Chain A
């Protein structure tokens, strides 16, 4: 029974892989990229996360929110508490009511979550010609292909749509966007930001860094998760080996 079961299970797994890749990005296969956080011992490169944050802060944040992340979380990517305070204080949040019963604006604090560029979705649509720039907090988890998709989307703009493709007004052609007609204009160009650490800001570098930062934003627990996982697995290996040895001893004299 075992052999046939394994065959059936393998077939099921194979089919499921086919099923997932066929769905990816509306039929467009996203090329596989390699990232530091992949694999058994995956980790984040803090310098890269800080560069990515710089790109987000200077460019993406003009249209895209990051409302699930709090400013205090930025200490995780290696920013100092004073830096975090200063970054938070750039924005204002509504607080109150004060003693007179009025709501008032105050500078954001590290304990606040990222202030979105628009007060609500309708305002965001209105300011962007009807298209809603999605909040980026979970973008790497919320798209087929995850980080690979985000990376290639950033680089996937073409100056002209291929022949026969009717590009609606105000849209841009992107190789990896489902349906190809995307409302966001191309964003990355060489030297878009001047990296504080002196890294050369090529388009690929910018795309890699912003993807890394967004992955951290989506999965801030990843490093803790993988390192705990290793410990749990080693423990289970030892325990299971001992249980197996004990099982053999206990069953040694049973004819079955």
Chain B
């Protein structure tokens, strides 16, 4: 690590004792080289990090007024909404922030899938990302239980019951998770404790994720490595300002929901206090779980459904080997590109099926979409990699940029039109 270029005596003093300024400068600042051709699709990683911070902040303030007890939880949330100063704002930020987190992270994942960001040397980076996603899911699920509405209660019941599918030990696991013989006060209490803890674990894994990123450096729309100083620009100020601009646009999207449609992505039943005697007519998880919920329901066997749902996430961990292509970016893969979008449509269809009641024709469509989900990863991805002839890769990032000036065709996937104007 090189020394800090500064004449500020206070900074020099600090630098000699704790080189934190140069550390930040090397990690997110002017000493961190980034490919100069990153498109706006590369904004979503930093956005996800910022949403995590917003979630932790709003969550801590909510926790100051929340009571984790079955008799008080629902009313304590309503007290936040009605009596606590700006409580409604903080709660709506937290509630919609969860959806925003998944929107941003799902786009981030699909960007990684499109540009082959999971391929060597970024396998560990990719796996850490999957760990982050699993932790997010666990955290979101437990957070949804806390308001103790009907969907909270029945969501908790259904999801914890998934574990009862495992032979022999299943029932013991479920009793252990509940701390009793049904979802009840002990369950709510431990979910609150874990919901508070896991985001900080998440922060830890995010740091590892960024660490792994800095080892391999960012992928880019061309999917080729940086070959020299001409290909790179310092992260600061180029990407700090680009990320901040993206943040501004994103915050407007986020705040629109907070102020004008705060319950759009929620379910009305969660404004009915939990009643262990009455199951709502139509239980659906939050939208971000719907595709996985559809996979769960596609299998008529209890254990099979649970295993397949977990497999749907685990299969992603094997992508570095399932993808046999020589090039990373789908921009140079004329066949795979189409299948990528077909897969995206499949994921949307699964999400739709997850929201529908378990009846025909939804069941059959769900089974076909589930089959295709795995077919895409296990069969299509390796096969296409073997047979497909990728288009020629540019010599370097800077060469592509020079060529792009004259003939912008290969770079239309790079959202760069506005910058070039």
A residues with a Cβ closer than 8 A to B are 1-2, 4, 8, 11-12, 15-16, 18-19, 22-23, 26, 40, 68-69, 73, 134, 137-138, 141-144, 146, 178, 218, 220-221, 224-226, 228-229, 232-233, 236-237, 239-240, 243-244, 246-248, 250-251, 254-256
Contact = CB atoms under 8 A, between A and B. Distances in A.
A143 B36 CA distance: 51
Interface centre among A226, A228, A236 (most CB of B within 10 A): A236
A244 B356 contact: no
B351 A256 contact: no
Nearest to A26: B281
Given A8-B348, A138-B271, A254 B238 contact: yes
Interface in B377-421: 398, 401-402, 405, 413, 415-416, 419
B242 interface: yes
Contact of A142 (B82, B238, B268, B345): B268
Contacts of A246: 241, 245
A200 B349 CA distance: 51
A101 to B, nearest CB: 24
Contacts of B259: 225-226, 228-229, 232-233
Given A178-B281, A221-B88, A256 B37 contact: yes
A208 to B, nearest CB: 21
Contacts of A178: 281
B260 A142 contact: no
Given A225-B262, A251-B241, A254-B233, 17 more contacts: A8-B341, A15-B351, A18-B352, A23-B282, A68-B82, A73-B82, A143-B268, A146-B268, A220-B82, A221-B88, A225-B88, A236-B248, A240-B251, A246-B241, A247-B241, A256-B401, A256-B416
A220 B84 CA distance: 13
Contacts of A16: 287, 351-352, 355
Contacts of A1: 39, 41, 114, 331, 413, 415
A240 B252 contact: yes
B368 to A, nearest CB: 16
B244 interface: yes
Interface string B76-108: 001001100000110010000000000000000
A1 B401 CA distance: 18
Given A244-B245, A247-B245, A141 B114 contact: no
A179 to B, nearest CB: 9
B237 interface: yes
B260 A19 contact: no
Interface in B315-359: 331, 341, 344-345, 348-349, 351-352, 355-356
Nearest to B88: A221
B258 interface: yes
A239 to B, nearest CB: 6
A121 B62 CA distance: 29
Interface of B: 36-37, 39, 41, 75, 78, 81-82, 88-89, 92, 114, 233, 237-238, 241-242, 244-245, 248-249, 251-252, 255-256, 258-260, 262-263, 268-269, 271-272, 281-282, 287, 331, 341, 344-345, 348-349, 351-352, 355-356, 398, 401-402, 405, 413, 415-416, 419
A256 B408 CA distance: 11
Contacts of B89: 225, 228
Given A141-B271, A142-B272, A255 B248 contact: no
A68 B80 CA distance: 11
B271 A142 contact: yes
B352 A256 contact: no
23 contacts: A1-B41, A2-B415, A12-B348, A16-B351, A23-B355, A68-B75, A141-B271, A142-B269, A221-B88, A224-B88, A225-B88, A225-B262, A233-B256, A236-B251, A237-B252, A240-B245, A240-B252, A243-B248, A244-B248, A246-B241, A251-B419, A255-B405, A256-B233
Contact of B255 (A11, A15, A143, A229): A229
